[in-house]
A and B are shown apart, each in its own frame.
Chain A
Amino acid sequence: EAGVAQSPRYKIIEKRQSVAFWCNPISGHATLYWYQQILGQGPKLLIQFQNNGVVDDSQLPKDRFSAERLKGVDSTLKIQPAKLEDSAVYLCASNPMAGQGSTDTQYFGPGTRLTVL
């Protein structure tokens, strides 16, 4: 079974530019997550999708970050405009079960390392 795919693996941009990250979850996984991992910290959830609907985006900086999951499969996370403090690894994860109380594990992709200069 193929794992969670993410691209690009690395991205360097200037502040105030825009950037987009792509995630393809494991086939059939209903739930998809985007995490931000700043150097020296644990991952922090930005947004959770269940199929193509948003379940939790309470920690997404909506003035500059946006995410979508078209057709309940692939997802794109966008930052516009980027700030220096957005430098981090952006991790995508997926989970096979939809709904609350799932015991299933989140499977993570390799992440995208973003550097904002």
Chain B
Amino acid sequence: AQTVTQSQPEMSVQEAETVTLSCTYDTSESDYYLFWYKQPPSRQMILVIRQEAYKQQNATENRFSVNFQKAAKSFSLKISDSQLGDAAMYFCAYRFFGNEKLTFGTGTRLTIIP
């Protein structure tokens, strides 16, 4: 069974600084997708960034980028120039290519210090 582990329950960063959230996963599959979702207090899960496992290039979306290490089964999220609006729970998620079921980690609560 696939598992996703987020070892940092809480992180904090000064506004405008950079922070990295960690995620590791376990799978025997070679074709899969990895995601970072943001969940603000409103509870709505919002997709931040997506990575296809067959792509060697790390995904980037504006201030958000990932460091995908397939052999190490590691998928970290880097947030540059942190903003107050980035404060939220961040969930790492895995999806096998052959189905659409998402497996989530336990989340990291990110606090932005003004």
Residues of A participating in the B interface, judged by any CB pair closer than 8 Å: 31, 33, 40-45, 48, 55-56, 89, 91, 93, 95, 100-103, 105-106, 108-111, 113
Contact = CB atoms under 8 A, between A and B. Distances in A.
A42 B104 contact: yes
Q: Is chain B's interface secondary structure helix, strand, loop, or mixed overall? A: loop
Contact of B47 (A33, A45, A105, A110): A105
B93 A42 contact: yes
B64 interface: no
Contacts of B42: 110
Interface in B83-106: 91, 93, 97-102, 104-106
Interface in B22-62: 33, 35, 37, 42-47, 50, 52
Given A56-B99, A101-B97, A102-B100, 20 more contacts: A31-B100, A40-B106, A40-B107, A41-B106, A41-B107, A42-B4, A42-B105, A43-B102, A44-B104, A45-B101, A55-B100, A56-B101, A89-B43, A105-B35, A105-B50, A108-B45, A109-B44, A110-B44, A111-B43, A111-B44
Interface residues of B, number: 24
A12 to B, nearest CB: 16
Contacts of B101: 45, 48, 56
B104 A100 contact: no
B89 to A, nearest CB: 9
Nearest to B47: A105
A91 B91 CA distance: 14
12 contacts: A31-B100, A33-B100, A42-B104, A42-B105, A43-B91, A43-B102, A43-B104, A45-B102, A89-B43, A93-B45, A102-B100, A105-B47
| Residue among A42, A101, A103, A109 facing the most chain B CB atoms (10 A cut-off) | A42
